Amino acid sequence: MASNRFVAFAIVAVVLPTFAMATEYFVGDDEGWKVGVNYSEWANGKVFRVGDKLVFKYGSPHNVYKVDGNGFKECKPSGDVYNNGNDTFILSEQGKKWYICGVNDHCEKGQKLVINVESDGSEPVPAPVPAPTPPKPAPVPASTPPPTQTPPSNDSYRIISSCYQIFVAAVVAMAVAAF
């Protein structure tokens, strides 16, 4: 009962923050997606994480292309066009993501966005894995000498003492026999 409740709590504790921390970013905030907004300024200081959403809101002349670094630099649209005016991208993996408007020279005029998506924070958990490696060499030399050191001293003590007992017993026996 108690352990079931604990497991349920643990699951909630692990899963809940993942949802709670997902953020929906409206590109350009109230300005939306258009010519005349500095999108590097908009992105500046924001932390985008895996699981967050990027929403492009805009009116009729514009659209969105998700391009690569080159397409961003050269304002070259490629791939699918998104043009419903409320285009939502779920940031599903880490790394740089580039978005441009493919209409006329809008991209050249600055209607382009580059962001860097960071880990959702659940990934630092594997980090402690390298830690167990260094302690490994320590137990090997540490545990090997004690077993070899301790038994001999005890064993030899035991052997010596039992030899002594036999010797004493023999002396006693001889003494008894002498009478």
Residues of this chain that bind ligand NAG (CB under 6 A): 38, 40-41, 44, 55, 86, 88, 110, 150, 153-154, 157
> Between 108 and 123, whose beta carbon lies closer to ligand NAG?
108
> Between 35 and 103, whose beta carbon lies closer to ligand NAG?
35
83, burial (CB in 10 Å: exposed 0-12, middle 13-18, buried 19+): middle
> Between 78 and 150, whose beta carbon lies closer to ligand NAG?
150
55, burial (CB in 10 Å: exposed 0-12, middle 13-18, buried 19+): middle
Measured from the CB of residue 148, what is the shortest distance to ligand NAG in angstroms? 13
Asked whether the beta carbons of 162 and 154 are under 8 A apart, the reply is no
Contacts of 51 (CB under 8 A, 6+ apart): 18, 21, 22, 90, 91, 92, 120
Measured from the CB of residue 33, what is the shortest distance to ligand NAG in angstroms? 12
98, HSE (Cβ side, Cα atoms, 13 Å): 17
Residue labelled with tokens 């320590």: 138
Measured from the CB of residue 96, what is the shortest distance to ligand NAG in angstroms? 17
> Between 6 and 154, whose beta carbon lies closer to ligand NAG?
154
Measured from the CB of residue 175, what is the shortest distance to ligand NAG in angstroms? 29
